[in-house]
Chain A
Amino acid sequence: MMFYIAALSLIGIGLYVVLTKKNLVKVLIGISIADSGVNLLLISVGYLKGGTAPILEKGLNKPMVDPVPQALVLTAIVIGVATLALAMAVVIDVKRHFGTVELDKVIKMMRGGDGSDA
């Protein structure tokens, strides 16, 4: 139970950051926190009471935890890293064009500069 709450709280904190912060780098940090929360949640869904790592060893005969979520999380982590890298590149691009990474200022500049549409 505690693990679920902890993992979900991480997701919640990430969401809160995304919802309230204007700084794009902070938003990305929020997304990355939420990602870690999701990964922890997946892992805890696969937990078995008293289980050990799902790797066979000679002479060790204990129940094992669910290996599936661990494999899924491996994939999810890599995907998260990849997205973060790409998003960072776009933020650098934003900074190059607008000179700022504050989303509200960027939006204001877009509306003011282009003007053609709201």
Chain B
Amino acid sequence: MTLKLFDPMLMIGISLAIVFLMPIWKALGGKKLAWAVSVLLYAFNTLFMIGVAYRATLYPEGLIIKIGGFKPPFGIVLHVTFWGAVLSTFVWFVAFLSIMYASTRYDAEPADVYYALLTLLALGSSGMFLTGDIFNLFVFTEITALAAFGLSAFMKKKGTAYATIKYIIMAEVASAFLLVAIALLYGKLGTLNMLDAQQTLKTVGMTGAMVLSVLFFLVGYGVEAEIFPLNLWAPDVYKYVPEEVIALFISGSSKAAAFAWLRMWVMVFGVPQKMLQTMLWIGIVTFAFAEVMAYSQKSFRRALGYASLGQAGLVFVAISLGSELALKAAFLLMINHILSEAILFYIAGNIGEDGAPANVRIPLVFGFLGAVSMPPFIGFWGKIFLFMALAKAGYWVMFVLIALFSIVEIAYMYKWFISLYKGTGKMDLVRSFSPIMLTLVSFAMWFMPFVPKIMDLLDLAIKPFLQKGVM
């Protein structure tokens, strides 16, 4: 009975109410109160989403939450899966760390607007993780995108303006494609509910219109999921935008778009075998392109940006493969990516002339190890699973290519590590809180595979997405 209280709608409703009240908070207590309210909200939401994730473990096929009390295909539903709930927890956690980090930032004005945008970015991505309706997914995508635009241009510098306008143009063209995809899907299947669409599609089959719809969904989510060649906006954004925002982009909008692709490609369309090869190659090219570009970068922020694109490519390969092992790999790689890249970006904002600050050396080591998916980091298991999945499906060329470019990744990451490690600077105490917290979490994560129950959790995470009859 008490578990029923962990209704994600409660989280979304309360968060929205608090964001809407932002002008009032500001009038009552200035930006200090706006900050305090946001911090409390993020902390509360993180804990709340842990509760939701626990509740989701009790529903192997995913928890359906009806909105407005209408029967599923007719009203909007949330389809809360363990996977989505976990990622959503991470979003709020990173948002919490980011706002702590941003508390020493005085150049973000007006501050209350800044906090509101951070909240809405986190909220939009967690909506994308939780929703079970195709059009609702689009609405949340747009919320996430607009919050991302606002945050990305917020500093009003030369670089941010330039990076943001490229981002906006690409994302807006993508959203037009997304709507065309929805029009095709709705016209053909006559439903907007994901699970219902999945069932209807089985009787209809992958006709020409559906193939087009898949392609447009790919374009639509590819921009935010950072798929080549739609990811050309990303390196500039990653270079110029403040690091706490980037941490949130990585855990929020980019992961949410990848998750949306998972929903459409694996859940609704059921991994159409005809298009599988193409998707895998797109992912591989994304990975290879990003790693090669990262290798030749002279600025650490930019190298990190490209490394992050590479990770997105790997996640895309894993999702597109869509087999049981591959989905497990995608789950682990996503979490690994959030943790390691967020640590590195938090530190990257504080790098001086001589290298990284001395008091965050341990998080730095962890961040680098995570970025190349080495133990002690759960990305290690993710990559192993991905290799196993590729081998099992018989894609040996891709196996070799991924291994090859992983070595490139290790090479340049090592280079940066050597040049940064010996730094003597000092990171401000408030700011170093964020990378240290993340390091603790990732350290705890490493022990997870040794806990006997954890493999069950992995099975549980991918269960709602597996269709009978797919591999």
Contacts and interface: CB of A to CB of B under 8 A. Distances in A.
* Direct contact, A vs B (beta carbon within 8 Å): yes
Interface of A: 11, 14-15, 18, 24, 27, 31, 34-35, 37-39, 41-42, 45, 68-69, 72, 75-76, 79, 82-83, 86-87, 89-91, 93-94, 96-98, 103, 106-107, 110, 113-114, 116-117
Contacts of B168: 83, 86-87, 90
Nearest to B149: A86
Contact of B299 (A42, A90, A103, A116): A116
Interface of B: 135, 139, 142, 145-146, 149-150, 153, 156-159, 161-162, 164-165, 168-169, 172-173, 175-176, 179-180, 182-183, 186-187, 192, 239, 297-299, 302
Contacts of A14: 176
Given A24-B165, A90-B165, A116 B180 contact: no
Nearest to B166: A103
B142 A45 contact: no
Contacts, number: 101
B158 A35 contact: no
Contact of A31 (B146, B173, B182, B297): B173
A24 B172 CA distance: 13
The SS class assigned to the A binding surface is helix
Most buried by A among B139, B153, B168, B179: B179
Contacts of A79: 139, 142, 175
A116 B298 contact: yes
A87 B298 contact: no
Nearest to B150: A86
Contacts of B149: 83, 86-87, 90
A93 B161 contact: yes
Contacts of A68: 186, 192
A75 B180 CA distance: 14
22 contacts: A15-B173, A31-B169, A31-B176, A38-B183, A68-B192, A72-B182, A79-B139, A79-B175, A83-B146, A83-B172, A83-B175, A86-B149, A87-B168, A90-B149, A90-B164, A90-B165, A94-B162, A106-B162, A107-B162, A110-B158, A110-B159, A117-B299
